[in-house]
Amino acid sequence: MKDFTGKIAVITGGGTGMGRELALQLVAEGCSVAMCDVSSANMAETARLCAKEGAQGTRVTTHVADVSIEDQMNRFRDEVRDQLQTDKIHLLFNNAGIGGGGSFVAGSRAEWEKTFNVCWGGVYYGCRAFLPMLLKADEGHIVNTSSVNGFWASLGPQTSHTAYSAAKFAVKGFTEALVNDLRLNAPHIKCSVVMPGHIGTEIVANSRKVLSGEEAPSAEALSQARARMKEMGVAADQLSDAQIQAMIDTQARAFHDNAPTTAAQAAKVILDGVKAERWRVLVGDDAVVMDRLVRGDPEQAYEPAFFQRLAQETGWQLGGLAAQAQRGG
């Protein structure tokens, strides 16, 4: 698919971050977009920006849906069909994701399963819901967002990171298996697995809101954050709840602001990968370095010395990783 003009794209998690930037760049190239998110307010802002950037004739629709719930994804599909008056789409970006559920042993089962179900279930339900519409198109492309944590299941030796990593490994394996499945059974549809490194998005703050259902951290969330900070050697017992909350907010901003790759840059890499029909898309220089190091010495990938080398070669700010630890992802 060399040209997006006149095509229809579906994007999950279109309210912020890479989802928003994918929508903006697609409409600028003449592609209509249907997006879903759990936040109608965030999607409204994306739609407003798309109206300014979009080429003549493009359409943008917004749909509230939780990608971890199949009925809501099927409703999203039906709304796309009805509102865009089409039985086909050309591009499916299973982009939505959250962090959380860091520890399988000591963490909350509900948080673990919600994180896994959004990050893996959203991809699975997205493909199930929209595959019939892709099959009816003359050409199609599925883009599933995994992560560098889809081939390196860690944030470092001091942080548990199981739900997110397990889900992203599942996304990577599923998409790789789809390469041959589609070649055999639907050769006009291509697929790509996207593995971003540290990208400047709102995932830290958004994950907290999705998991707690609240704008501000709950008492339970603050308690969990305090426990994680103690595991990392911070004297958290000496801090008030207000100080803990302020640190969480600061880390969320730092994760966005200190990222070596912006969401707009990431979206361009992804769309260039679609045009080049690349099934494996690493996003960010840090992702490229990490891929090389893990492949080069997989037996040592979870040892402290490996993490120190990784941080040194990627130039990662450890504060960015600590921000992820604060939201458990």
Place of tokens 């302020």: 246
Q: Indicate the burial class of 21 (C-beta count within 10 angstroms; 0-12, 13-18, 19 or more).
A: buried
**Is 70 exceeded by the pLDDT of residue 323?**
no
For the stretch 26-67, pLDDT in tens is 999 999 999 999 999 999 999 999 999 888 899 999 999 999
Averaged pLDDT score across all residues of the chain: 88
37, 98 Cβ separation under 8 angstroms: no
pLDDT of res. 320 = 42
Helices 219-231 and 241-257 sit at what angle, rounded to 10 degrees? 70
Average of pLDDT values for 216-224? 64
Lowest-pLDDT choice from 189-198, 250-259, 269-278: 250-259
Helices 122-135 and 162-185 sit at what angle, rounded to 10 degrees? 20
Residue among 124, 125, 164, 302 flagged as catalytic: 164
Q: How far is CA 8 from CA 11, 40, 89, 245, in A?
A: 10, 21, 5, 41
pLDDT of res. 25 = 98
User: Domains in the chain, start-ordered, CATH in brackets?
Assistant: 8-326 (3.40.50.720)
**Is 80 exceeded by the pLDDT of residue 260?**
no
Report d(CA 7, CA 126) in Å as an integer.
18
pLDDT of res. 220 = 61
Sign of CA dihedral 200, 204, 205, 209: positive
Stated as kind and residue range, the H or E segment containing 175 is helix 162-185
**Is 70 exceeded by the pLDDT of residue 248?**
no
Share of the chain above pLDDT 90, in %: 70
pLDDT bin (cut points 50, 70, 90) of residue 319 is very low
For the stretch 99-144, pLDDT in tens is 989 999 998 999 999 999 999 999 999 999 999 999 999 999 999 9
Report d(CA 133, CA 85) in Å as an integer.
12
Is there a catalytic annotation at residue 164? yes
For the stretch 269-294, pLDDT in tens is 999 999 999 999 999 999 999 999 99
**Is 80 exceeded by the pLDDT of residue 211?**
no
Report d(CA 64, CA 15) in Å as an integer.
10
- Written as six digits, the tokens of 304 are 């402290």
